[in-house]
Amino acid sequence: MLSKAKTLWALEQMKLEFPNAQGALNWDTPFHLLMAVILSAQATDISVNKVAPALFDRFPDPASLASADLQEIESYIHSIGLYHNKAKHLKACAQQIIARFDGQVPQSHTDLESLPGVGRKTANVVLGDAFRIPGFAVDTHVARVSKRLQIVKKSASVQEVEQALTAKLPKGEWVIDHHTMILFGRYRCTARNPKCETCPLLSICAEGQRRVNTK
């Protein structure tokens, strides 16, 4: 597996290629970020950003969303995949935030993950971006890059990827490292046809070397 020192170096190289990385979702309040991240599951950030202005305008807070008709919520998000389920989750989530957390988005993993539609990744994104509480959200890009670079073994679960990254990278950098790895995975180490020949990490990446040598 890639050592701690080499993992740190790899992140430095990624940051040189993608400086000042940040999330692509548009939001203005922690509650709206939570809504946006729930909507972004198996959907693109661009598609969520398209529906966000009208959605956020109509539902500025948990109270307005908690009392809305499901059909009305769906009418704002029908262009997004799985919108039936997502509308249910959004409404139930708003209801629980009012009932259990005094109308405020909770600021702990346990409380956030107890909300409908909120998993570990969503909780990490909300804690990191809305509250600057360090967390390492593992999405498909972060997992793929970690496996190709052998930061973790190929069969690692999402939890194992998170554990390895948080053990090897400094806590204060987790939020920006997460965003950096997403951009690196989205534009350099892509799922199909990664751009290995010109990759700054080729010297430490067995997967990249194998791909280059078999071309």
Residues that bind ligand SF4 (CB under 6 A): 148-149, 188-189, 194-196, 199, 201-202, 205, 207-208
28 is catalytic: no
**Which residues are CB-neighbours of 56 under 8 A, at least 6 positions away?**
27, 28, 32, 35
- CA distances from residue 41 to 18, 32, 34, 121, 202 in whole angstroms, order as listed: 24, 15, 12, 10, 31
Put residue 161 in one of left, alpha, beta given phi > 0 → left and psi -120 to 50 → alpha.
Answer: alpha
Catalytic choice (121, 129, 168, 177): 121
Give the whole-angstrom CA distance, residue 187 versus residue 194. 8
Instruction: Say if CB 127 and CB 23 are below 8 A apart.
Output: no
Closest to ligand SF4 by CB, 91 vs 148, is 148
Nearest distance in Å: CB 20, ligand SF4: 20
Closest to ligand SF4 by CB, 7 vs 124, is 7
Instruction: Say if CB 118 and CB 100 are below 8 A apart.
Output: no
Q: Which residue has its beta carbon closest to ligand SF4?
A: 208
111 is catalytic: no
Give the whole-angstrom CA distance, residue 151 versus residue 136. 14
Nearest distance in Å: CB 203, ligand SF4: 9
Give the whole-angstrom CA distance, residue 186 versus residue 203. 20
Closest to ligand SF4 by CB, 90 vs 205, is 205
Nearest distance in Å: CB 18, ligand SF4: 13
Closest to ligand SF4 by CB, 24 vs 202, is 202
Nearest distance in Å: CB 24, ligand SF4: 20
Nearest distance in Å: CB 206, ligand SF4: 8
Catalytic choice (45, 129, 139, 177): 139
Instruction: Say if CB 2 and CB 150 are below 8 A apart.
Output: yes
Residue numbers annotated as active site: 121, 139
